[in-house]
Structures are given as C-alpha cells and as structure tokens.
Amino acid sequence: MSVVTRFAPSPTGNVHVGSQRTALYNYIFARQQKGKFILRVEDTDQNRYIEGAVENLLSSLEQLGIEFDAGPGKEDDKGPYFQSERNEIYNREVQRLMDQGHAYRCFCTSERLDELRKEQMEKQTPTGYDGKCRSISSEESDERAKTEKFVIRLKIPKEGLCEFKDIVRRDVKIAWSQVDDQILVKSDGYPTYHLANVVDDHYMEVTHVIRGEEWLPSVPKHLFLYECFGWEAPQMAHLPLLLNADRSKLSKRQGDVAVEDYLKKGYTPDALNNFLALLGWNPGGKNEIYTMDELIEAFDINKITKAGAVFDVQKLNWMNGQYIKNMDVEKYLKEARKWLGDLKVNEDKLDIALMAVKTSLSTFQDVPVKLAVFTGEPSAPEAEAKEMLELESTKLVFKAYAEKVAKLDDLKVDDFKVIMKEVQIETGVKGKNLWMPVRIGLTGEIHGPELGYIVEYLGKEENIKRIMSYKL
Ligand code: GLU
C-alpha cells in the first residue's frame, strides 16, 4: 500500500514553528516512501478562523519548499482540501453512526453542562459529560430534534483500557473511563475536529498520521470511530513537544514562534528546514547540516524521540550562518541586496562589500550592521587596538604594506594575500602581529569582515591613506 501523509492545520493564526515541523516530517516521510503528501485545511470551527491564516499557511509552505500532492484518486485536484466544503460527507457518516446506535443526540443546555462541571470540580471527580442523554429513545430524540437544539455525541465505551501502538510512544494505554462522550457535531451543524479528521483521513486514504503530541489523548476517540465505521485506522506517530531553553513549552513570550517571523528576520528556508527537522529526530553522527534530499534519505520514522526538543535559537543562528557561508555566490548577492535598508553603499563596490561579510552573518538581517564598516569613516581604535598600533613591528608592517600597495595599479582580493606574504618575508613579522595591525589600520576594529574584500573595496589610494594616517 502506498504511503499517504497529510498536514492538517486549522487556520487559526500564522504557522507556528511546531506546526511547520509537523508538516516537514509528513513531507519528508512521504517523499522517502515515494508516497503522497496532502494538505488539508481543518476549518470547521468558524469561531476560531483568523483572516489571512490560509494565505499565511500557503506562503510559509511555499517559501520553505514544501510541496503538496493530489490525494489518491484526485489526480487533477491538488487541493488544499477544505473541510468546510465537505459537510455533506460528515453529515452522511454521522447519520450512519446514529443509525447503528454509536452516536446520540444530546439536548443538554450549556447551563446544565456548566452546573455539572461545577459540581464535579467541587467533588473533585473527573470532569466530563455524565451521559444523561445516552438513553433517550430514538423516537423521543427525533421528536425533540424538531424543536430543541442539540449536539451529537459519540457513545464511548466506559470500561476497560484502550490499548494502541504509536510509532513514537510505542505501547500506549488509556482508560476508557477517562474518555468523554465526544461531541461529533456541534449545535451549529458543523462537525468537530474529531469527526471530520477521522472521516477525512479515511476517505483521503491516509496511511500515517504524524502530528503533535497534544493529540495523543484523542487517539482512543479516533480509534473507536474507526471501529464503529468499520475502517482500518492509520498508523500514528505523535511528535515530541518543542520547548524553550528553560524546558517550558515553546511560547511567544520567550521569542518568535511563527515561521514568518524567522523568514522576515533573514533566516534561510534551507536552514529552517534543516533545523526543524532535527528537533525530535537525529540521524546520529556529528554532521548537522543536511539538504532536503539528505534529510529524505536519512530520516527514520522509528527513531523519532519521545523527549521534548529544545528550540535553541543560538543553534539556529549558527546553522543559518553556515548556510549563508556556503551559499552559491550569485544567489547570496541577490538575496543580500534585499536587506540593505537605508544603507548607502557605493553601488560599484557593493558586491565586494557583501562578499566581505558573507562568512560573518548569522542572518540576512545582519547585513546592514556588518556593512557599516564600509560606509563610514574607520572607527577610532579602542585600547587593545591602540596597543597593537604602538608595537615596533607595526611600524615596519605599515611601511612595507604602503610601499607594496603603491606599486600596484589596482588592488584586488587576490593581490592582498600576495602582498601580505611579501610583507611577512620582508619584515619577519608573522601571525597576529602582522594581520591585526593591518585590519586596525584600515578599519579601526580588531574584528570584522574578511580583510581581502575590505582592501579591494577601499581601493589603492584609500588603503595607503588610512595606513599612513597613523603617524608612527
Ligand atoms: N487540525 C489539527 C491541528 O490544528 C490537526 C491535528 C491532526 O493532525 O490530526 O493541529
């Protein structure tokens, strides 16, 4: 049987990084198994719908290169499939459950349910529906339905254990007594998540449900639904939670949580995919940089971990820096140019300036900050830098450097290394005492972008002028 996975978000806001990881795992697994990955928008809860959420969803997936397929038997229609357009199917299926006695109308008012909850809390007994309407006869139920509001509930077994296998959690046991008579259809006639999700997973021929751990307690309801419908349940894998650095649940209060926030800050889609893919699964070994194809090749659904995974922004910064560093030059220059903001850089030499900072960026947002060294006067050297300038050897280095630069027609990145080698041979000064004073002499700073590019950016005259400005 060919594998079908799905990403089934509810359009209730911008895509969360945890959701994106879910999408990614479903996508990677489907691609690895040469199966299909479908996108289903679970939008039956009209109250929670947020304007623009679907657009955000599609744009986040597109920017991260996660492409979805047409489901089995839907060759021309790639979706996304919207649950709000499938109400007829849910109504038909819930009617089947009612006819078989697996579901019943519940006429309890919200006041009664609130009262019940209050009592249960006072008595410190588990909260949940007490089954009052379970025993209403079908005749009475049909009659009352003509005039009264109702919801439809699932008649959950009340005894014993629900035992099932989860690919991540292995053998899971949940007592039926802990499972509520789930509402399947709300009083507005729309299905709840639980009904629509199971019906769709069946008709969309989903073979593997890969989703967040928060859905684990819902599995018994779903399995019971599959049983009542006489359908085979898909395999399930519940992914570990994403955590803040202090191991609390990842939250907005401690940093950004939307994929869009990270894209806006200049994280690359490849780095985000790489980073998210390793939150909850690890191929082992030291390498941490994986292209999408390598992830697809290495992924092992059986090795997803149970323990929560820390969303470590420092690590993401490092990884993103690696991606920028190794990025194809043309692609890099094109992208980096988008991040200049108001910075005024000599257009002719912009590419050299951008190349100079390529290896020192964590995100593209750093571009204007790192380029500042090119746009203004060199900074006044700080104490440590001054000390370097005062070394006897610095005099020799500066003199030799200026002489050699003066002899050239032009000054290019590649010339710089050659000159420095010559300066080293001529003066006998090596290592830090050779390189650092030149950097300080040219920029006023101890650290900074790659010196060869700075040298080319400044040009012959400016190189000599800056170096000679130190009256040594
Ligand atoms: N609509 C659910 C969500 O927003 C889907 C959960 C599932 O994958 O079954 O997370």
The DSSP line for 58-122 is HHHHHHTT----PPTT-TT----EEGGG-HHHHHHHHHHHHHTTSEEEE---HHHHHHHHHHHHH
What's the pLDDT band for 472 if we cut at 50, 70, 90? Answer: low
Give 104-117 pLDDT, tens digit per residue. 999 999 999 999 99
Structure tokens at 147: 């005039």
Q: How far is the CA of 6 from the centre of ligand 1 (A)?
A: 10
Name the amino acid, one letter, at 39: L
C-alpha distances (whole Å) from 419 to each of 318, 413, 416, 423 are 32, 10, 5, 6
Does the domain at 377-468 match CATH 3.30.70.20? Answer given as no
Mutation pick for ligand 1 pocket among 24, 213, 215, 235 (CB with most ligand atoms within 8 Å): 215
Strand partners, 5: 37, 208
| Spacing, Cα 42 to ligand 1 middle (Å) | 7
Which residues are the active-site residues? 252
- Answer yes or no: is pLDDT of 471 > 70: no
What pLDDT digit, counting tens, does each position of 7-47 carry? Answer: 999 999 899 999 999 999 999 999 999 999 999 999 998 78
Give the pairing type, strands 81-82 and 36-41: parallel
Distance 8 CA to ligand 1 centre (A): 5
- Structural contact between residues 164 and 172, judged by C-beta atoms closer than 8 angstroms: yes
Report pLDDT digits (tens) over 147-165: 999 999 999 998 999 999 9
pLDDT higher for 449 or 319? 319
- Residue 393 CA to ligand 1 center (angstroms) comes to 67
Query: Which residue puts its alpha carbon closest to atom 10 of ligand 1?
Result: 9
Percent of the chain residues topping a pLDDT of 90:
80
The amino acid at residue 246 is D
**How many angstroms does the Cα of residue 314 sit away from the middle of ligand 1?**
29
Least confident of 211-220, 263-272, 376-385, 398-407: 376-385
C-alpha 173 – ligand 1 centre gap (Å):
21
Query: 302 is written with which tokens?
Result: 């059986």
Q: What does DSSP say about strands 81-82 and 103-106: parallel, antiparallel, or unpaired?
A: unpaired
Q: Which residue owns the Cα nearest ligand 1 atom 3?
A: 9
| Nearest atom of ligand 1 to the alpha carbon of 193 | 1
The token duo for 165 is 């296998």
Distance from first CA to last CA of the chain, Å, rounded?
79
Closest atom of ligand 1 relative to the 19 alpha carbon: 10
What's the pLDDT tens digit per position in 46-65?
788 788 999 999 999 999 99
Task: Please give the Cα distance from 358 to 365 (Å, whole number).
Answer: 12
The DSSP bridge partners found for residue 7 are 39
Rounded Cα distance between 75 and 281, Å, is 32
CA 232 / ligand 1 centre spacing (Å): 19
Phi and psi at residue 239, to the nearest 5°: -80, 145
pLDDT at residue 355 tops 70: yes
Ligand 1 center from residue 19 Cα (angstroms): 9
Region 73-93 average pLDDT: 94
Of ligand 1's listed atoms, the one at least distance from the Cα of 211 is 8
Mean pLDDT over 233-243 rounds to 97
Spatial separation of the C-alpha atoms in residues 57 and 113, rounded to whole Å: 36
CB-hemisphere CA count at 13 Å for 329? 6
Cα 195 from Cα 222, distance rounded (Å) = 8
Residue 35 three-state SS: coil
Q: How far apart, in whole angstroms, are the C-alpha atoms of residue 217 and residue 236?
A: 12
Tens-place pLDDT, residues 303-339: 999 999 999 999 999 999 999 999 999 999 999 999 9
pLDDT given at position 375: 75
Among 262, 296, 259, 265, smallest CA distance to 61 is for 259
Measuring CA to CA, which residue among 370, 372, 375, 373 is closest to residue 266? 370
Ligand 1 atom closest to the CA of 22, numbered from 1: 8
The whole-number average pLDDT for the span 249-273 is 92
Residue 373 has pLDDT above 80, yes or no: no
The neighbour count for residue 378, using CB atoms within 10 Å, is 16
Give the E-state strand segments of 193-232 in sequence order. Answer: 208-212
Residue 180 — very low, low, confident or very high, per pLDDT cuts 50/70/90?
A: very high
| Amino acid in position 30 | A
Residues of the chain above pLDDT 70, percent: 99
Nearest atom of ligand 1 to the alpha carbon of 209: 8
Residue 335 Cα to chain centre, angstroms: 20
Q: What tokens were used for 101?
A: 């006695």
Q: What is the pTM of this model?
A: 0.90
Ligand 1 binding pocket (C-beta < 6 A) is: 8-10, 42, 193, 197, 211, 215
Atom in ligand 1 nearest the alpha carbon of residue 7: 8
